[in-house]
Structure 1
Amino acid sequence: MAEKTNQQVNPLAPSNGNPRSDEESNTLQSKELKRKKRVKLAIYIAAFAVFQTIVILVFALTVMRVRTPKVRLGTDVTFSKLNTTGNDTSPSINITFIAQVRVKNTNFGPYKYDDTTAIFTYQNVKVGEVTIPKGKAGLRSTKKVSVTVDLNLDALQTTPSLGNELKNGVLTLNGQAKFTGKVELMFVMKKKKATEMNCKMIIDSTSKTLKDLICV
């Protein structure tokens, strides 16, 4: 009994160090996972920032960019009157035709223009005019305005080229107009824009039709 009492009781030592190594390994893996998550989050944030920048640039270059509207005469011109009297040296011409003035707006917002006057000339001499009332061309659309134009070329009786043109069955006229207005974007931003119409009409005086139309 004394021998058993005197025996020193020693605690059991771990057979190996694996438990501590496993704990350290788990800690390292946890830190590595957290680091990878932080890297992924940083990548996602950077990618989102780049995407947002691209979206803003595209929006600024397309939607928010204000373009100048274009104004042209349409080719569907109808002559209700084209009378030629007199002779080659002293001709007298009265013309009435119906045409379309087309305001093409390529902006992402309406173009509101003021009333204006279209002037028709023959070799820089005014032979008629017509008033175009104020209106609005919707976003990315074309506004078509029908106008009736009365022209009187009696003032050109002393112009030799007029008689020569009529002898060949043609008549060349020019139509000009200047439009002023504003392009409205996002219902808040308004940008002033002016545009001009400059068209040359070549009329077949024999068939009373539009032979050619050139607008710049």
Structure 2
Amino acid sequence: MPSTRRPLKIYCGISAIFFIIILVILIVIFLTLLRPKQPGVTANSITLKHFDAEVFPAFGLNVTLALVLTINNHRNYGSFKYDNTTAYLSYHGEVIAEAPLEGDLIPARSKHNISTTVDIGVDKLVESPYFLNESSQGVLNFTSVTTLRGIVRVFKVFHLHAVAHSTCEVALFLKLETVDSICTSKLKL
């Protein structure tokens, strides 16, 4: 009887070692090649949808920006599905506009556009101590902050909760009625 158990123990031991080796290889591949990486975020298009300034009889300013952010997910083997959220536009630390963003899916190894419009709150803008100086120079500087919370799915097998945080520095040139921006992003798992 003892002689028939020995080959079974050897088989089980070899199988366990083989399983551990395969598991270690899969973990190493996931942590190196398949690990979610920072997506590239660029302000593909920030345009003035509406701009109206009046000086007489009372000062008035109406500004609507159309934003199109491009998420470059080419480096990732996982898709990112995010929930509904809000993008905030601030002027020297004071939030002056909010824009709702509908939840969506950013496919793996591709680009994805996120579009919205932002109506700038003129009251808070005009009350800022920086407004007169910057408007006389012809450039207003804003910061756009967006936080996308969702799930990263790698090959529809691994599901990880993630938060993508994007910050864009936006310069609005009043005389030219154009916009320039620089964006950075961070992904936290």
Do the aligned partners of residues 207 and 148 (structure 1) sit closer, same or farther apart at CA in structure 2, a change above 3 Å counting? same
Structure 1 residue 184 displacement after superposition: 0.7
2:36 equivalent to 1:66: yes
Contact 1:111–1:181 (8 Å) recurs in 2: yes
Contact 2:43–2:183 (8 Å) recurs in 1: no
Do the aligned partners of residues 152 and 85 (structure 1) sit closer, same or farther apart at CA in structure 2, a change above 3 Å counting? farther
2:159 equivalent to 1:190: yes
193-202 or 150-159, which moves further after superposition?
150-159
Which residue of structure 2 lines up, in the alignment, with residue 101 of structure 1? Answer: 69
Which residue of structure 2 lines up, in the alignment, with residue 215 of structure 1? Answer: 183
- Aligned pairs for 1:80-99 (under 5 A) are 80-86=49-55, 92-99=60-67
- Aligned pairs for 1:12-23 (under 5 A) are none
Whole-Å separation in 2 of the counterparts to 1:75 and 1:136: 18
Contact 1:75–1:213 (8 Å) recurs in 2: no
117-126 or 56-65, which moves further after superposition?
56-65
Contact 1:84–1:94 (8 Å) recurs in 2: yes
Identity of aligned residues (%): 26
- Number of corresponding residues: 161
Whole-Å separation in 1 of the counterparts to 2:42 and 2:123: 24
Gaps of 5+ in 1: 1-51
Structure 1 residue 62 displacement after superposition: 4.3
Q: Please, what is the CA RMSD of the aligned residues? A: 2.6
Give the secondary-structure state (helix, strand or coil) at the position aligned to 1:59.
helix
- Structure with greater strand share of residues: 2
Do the aligned partners of residues 80 and 205 (structure 1) sit closer, same or farther apart at CA in structure 2, a change above 3 Å counting? same
Do the aligned partners of residues 83 and 67 (structure 1) sit closer, same or farther apart at CA in structure 2, a change above 3 Å counting? same
- Structure with greater helix share of residues: 1
- Aligned pairs for 1:33-44 (under 5 A) are none
Gaps of 5+ in 2: 1-21, 185-189
Contact 1:91–1:163 (8 Å) recurs in 2: no
- Aligned pairs for 1:1-216 (under 5 A) are 59-70=29-40, 72-86=41-55, 92-105=60-73, 106-210=75-179, 212-216=180-184
